[in-house]
Amino acid sequence: MLSTGPELRLLRLLSCVTLVLLFQVTDAKRDLKSACTTCQQITDNFSKGFDRTAKQNFGGGNTAWEERKLSKYETSEIRLMEIVEGLCESSSFECNRMVEEHEEHFETWWFKRKTKHPDLHKWFCIETIKVCCPKGTFGPDCNACVGSSERPCHGNGMCDGDRTRGGNGKCSCNHGYEGESCLDCIDGYFNEVRNDTFSLCTECHSSCKTCTGATNQDCDECKEGWEEDEQEACVDVNECSTESSPCKEDQYCVNTEGSYSCKACDRVCSGCTGAGPDKCQACASGYQDAEGTCTDIDECSQSESVCTKEHQECVNNKGSYVCICSSGYEEQEDECVQMMQPEQAEESEASETTTSPHGEL
């Protein structure tokens, strides 16, 4: 029986609450990863600022003056403030918020912890504000990634959340590897070396879908476009050797390893077995076979004229011809009409002028 009234509203409310909680958990995981990234950026910029302030205020050449006037600057609060001011871009809200919230920690490290804990990232990000983890660990408690913290994912992948307080520790395997621990090989690769903690996956021969070794005789299964020969080795299938070509009538077949391609015949051909006018199965219209090669027919040199209208001339081109009016003639209404000479044109204009009604006025 379907829920109605208050029961239906309660179900909808529970669904909404569940979705909100899921989104919050997802955002929390993302925030844990980004917090570590932000902290890493801050400590990297602190190191750059430390080097920058050293170059700006030391090394002027007057050693005695530097020892007397600048020795206190090296560990001073002024220098610390100059470094802290350059830790974040003005537009980076997360960076500026983290620096502002933990500014006292920089002062503590600078004045009391720097000598004993020279690695600021480790002291600040990992041990003090706890937004990062050591290499090869992840999550709130910095648990070791799959494989070990020394070789996450057995060196064949990336551990989700590595070095952060987020993530789930699952492996994203490098190409060629698969499985929870990235010790297995995908199709097309085989285990050249394998034990409980190490795996080396090497690519099969190009003819193999799966294999146990590197040659075409080590295939368990041939790829499409390959087939087993009498020695049980995968060899290329020549698709172009079949009676029925896989290509269109105006194309020829070119065999490739594991496949084939279709190329366009020469324009002089009507069907062909390869490239060029000497590979035609028949010649295209306007061409003729001359000692095994299709060549252009010169229609204009034939005994019977192909241009039948008066005052026409034939002009040959590749595979065809055109009929044009002879010199001194122009085409008018599909006929070649003699063009007027300049003198004739002037006489005609004069005649028109004298015979017009206006001329009699």
What pLDDT, on the 0 to 100 scale, is given for residue 253? 95
Closest among 74, 86, 3, 4 to 45, alpha carbons compared: 86
The label of the residue with tokens 């390893």 reads 257
Confidence of residue 165 (pLDDT cuts 50, 70, 90): very high
Mean pLDDT over 249-277 rounds to 94
Phi and psi based region of residue 136 (left: phi greater than 0; alpha: psi -120 to 50; beta: remaining):
left
Closest among 168, 179, 237, 178 to 207, alpha carbons compared: 237
The identity of residue 233, as a single letter, is A
Across 39-48, 54-63, 296-305, the highest mean pLDDT is recorded for: 39-48
- Any idea which of 7-16, 234-243, 275-284 has the lowest mean pLDDT? 7-16
Confidence of residue 331 (pLDDT cuts 50, 70, 90): confident
Mean pLDDT over 71-85 rounds to 89
**Beta bridge partners of residue 311, listed in sequence order:** none
Q: E strands along 110-197, which residues?
A: 137-138, 143-144, 157-159, 171-173, 177-178, 184-185, 189-194
Burial zone of 283 (CB within 10 Å; 0-12 exposed, 13-18 middle, 19+ buried): buried
Predicted TM-score (pTM) above 0.85: no
Which has the higher per-residue pLDDT, 319 or 133?
133
Strands 143-144 and 293-296 turn out to be unpaired
The identity of residue 165, as a single letter, is R
DSSP per residue, 285-304: TTEEEETTEEEE--GGGSSS
Confidence of residue 4 (pLDDT cuts 50, 70, 90): low
Which has the higher per-residue pLDDT, 71 or 160?
160
Buried b (16+ CB within 10 A) or exposed e, 192-224: eeeeeeebebebbbebbebbeeeebbbbeebbe
For residue 23, pLDDT beyond 90: no
For residue 9, pLDDT beyond 80: no
CA distances from 261 to 101, 252, 275, 279 (A): 65, 8, 13, 17
- pLDDT tens for each residue of 79-110: 999 999 999 999 999 999 999 999 999 999 99
Please give the share of the chain, as a percent, with pLDDT higher than 70: 82
Which has the higher per-residue pLDDT, 271 or 2?
271
The identity of residue 195, as a single letter, is N
- pLDDT tens for each residue of 55-70: 766 555 555 545 445 5
For residue 346, pLDDT beyond 90: no
Mean pLDDT over 181-188 rounds to 96
Closest among 229, 200, 234 to 215, alpha carbons compared: 234
What pLDDT, on the 0 to 100 scale, is given for residue 166? 94
For residues 120 and 52, give the distance between their C-alpha atoms in angstroms, rounded to a whole number.
17
